[in-house]
């Protein structure tokens, strides 16, 4: 009976230090654009209709995000993962508490990771013709 109680206590301590428990396996990422109102699409098939918006993304997931808005050039930003300070502490807590299982869970779920950049912010560039071309078109002359 004592051995079972001790084993249960060790598992509980291991999980308490586990980043999956303390930080979760997903992260809320904010997307903003200037001007606002851009559509957001990721290479992992996640979407926002208009900025500003947020998506709940698995911590282990890396992706590229593209902002589009009529009248503006599309802009793509890579979003990657990095070991987070709080995630590293949880991961280290697994080591101190003897939580090999917790370390495996954190590594698999990415619970020790954060996304960068977060928030993802872009300034969209207008689709504009070069000034010489715009002048020719206003005067009705064909381009050279």
Domain span at residue 82 reads 10-123
Q: Is residue 142 part of a domain?
A: no
Q: What is the pLDDT of residues 102-129, one digit of tens each?
A: 555 555 565 778 999 999 999 999 998 6
- Let me know if residue 139 belongs to a domain: no
How many CA atoms within 13 Å lie on the side-chain side of 58? 11
Read off the pTM: 0.64
Looking at residue 10, what is its pLDDT?
44
Q: Please, is 135 exposed, middle or buried when counting C-beta atoms within 10 Å of its C-beta (0-12, 13-18, 19+)?
A: exposed
pLDDT above 70: residue 64: yes
23 in Cβ contact with 90 (< 8 Å): yes
Q: Does residue 99 surpass a pLDDT of 70?
A: no
46 domain-assigned: yes
Query: Does residue 129 form part of some domain?
Result: no
> Averaged over 74-96, what is the pLDDT?
70
Residue 75 lies in a domain: yes
Per-residue pLDDT of 41-62, as tens digits, reads 999 999 999 999 999 999 989 9
In a domain, 33, yes or no: yes
Decide if 4 is inside a domain: no
Question: Would you state the pLDDT for residue 66?
Answer: 98
Count of domains forming the chain: 1
């Amino acid at each position: 009976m004592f051995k079972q109680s001790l084993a249960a206590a060790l598992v509980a301590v291991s999980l308490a230090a586990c980043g999956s428990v303390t930080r979760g396996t997903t992260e809320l990422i904010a997307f903003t654009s200037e001007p606002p109102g851009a559509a957001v699409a990721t290479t992992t098939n996640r979407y926002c209709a208009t900025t500003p918006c947020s998506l709940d993304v698995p911590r282990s997931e890396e992706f590229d995000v593209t902002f589009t808005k009529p009248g503006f050039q599309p802009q793509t930003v890579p979003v990657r993962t990095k070991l987070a300070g709080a995630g590293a502490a949880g991961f280290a807590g697994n080591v101190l508490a003897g939580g090999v299982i917790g370390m495996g869970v954190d590594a698999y779920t990415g619970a020790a990771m954060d996304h960068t950049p977060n928030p993802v912010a872009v300034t969209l560039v207008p689709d504009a013709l070069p000034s010489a071309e715009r002048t020719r078109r206003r005067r009705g002359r064909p381009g050279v």
